Amino acid sequence: MSTAEEIRKKITELPPGKPFTPAIFSTIAERSNIDKTLNRLVSSGFIEKPARGIFVRPEQSRFGSLPLEPLEVAAAKANAPVEIHGAEALRRLGLSTQVPVRPIFYTAGRSKTFEVNGVPVRLQHISAKKLVRTGTMVGMVISALWYLGKEGVTNEVLAVIRSKLSEEEYEQLKASAPSMPGWMSQALLRFDKAYE
């Protein structure tokens, strides 16, 4: 089997719509051969290149290729856990109507800006202690709470958040208290006592 065939075979084994980097082929060939093969596969339409150094076998619907979630591309680009920015988390939770101008994601890795299909995306470095249960509803809630800060996390805000979580997700949020700053875990405790 040729290098190109091996790379193509490995790509077909990946889930459609899941971004990948050339690094996953490092045991198959030299980087220059990998890059040439990937560029040929992009040219043929077998894969797409939504961002520099990021590739994907597009997931298809009856209307064509499904667009990628910038979060998934950001995670591949960061090669580290990423989380939705607090302002976007608030919007998704129904606590804000503000739409960020461009997607911003938190990461414990380096800050950087890149484009996904021509749209600027920002990876913003934050302390790893603020990244708890990344990629889950609970992680998104914690991101929103950090963004609001001590004065912004009221019982009314927590009531809205509680209504968006399943029982299991709410228990996971409470179980994450040891990873939270004191003010955040105390706010959750006060809310629980007020709404018992």
Reading the chain (196 residues) residue by residue, the pLDDT tens digits are 788 899 999 999 999 888 999 999 999 889 899 999 999 999 999 999 988 899 999 887 787 777 778 888 888 888 888 999 999 999 999 999 888 788 999 999 889 998 887 889 999 999 988 999 998 999 999 999 999 999 999 999 999 999 999 999 999 999 999 999 999 999 999 998 877 6
Domains plus CATH for the chain?
3-65 (1.10.10), 70-194 (no CATH)
β-sheet with 104-107: strand ranges across: 82-84, 104-107, 119-125, 112-116
Q: Are 35 and 27 spatial neighbours (Cβ–Cβ below 8 Å)?
A: no
Please name the residue that has the structure tokens 């994907």: 56
What are the distances in angstroms from CA 163 to CA 35, 144, 174, 175?
48, 15, 15, 18
Nearest partner of 108 among 82, 140, 87, 144, judged by Cα? 82
Q: What is the DSSP letter of 174?
A: H
Q: Which 3 state secondary structure label does DSSP give 121?
A: strand
CB atoms within 10 A of CB 74: 27
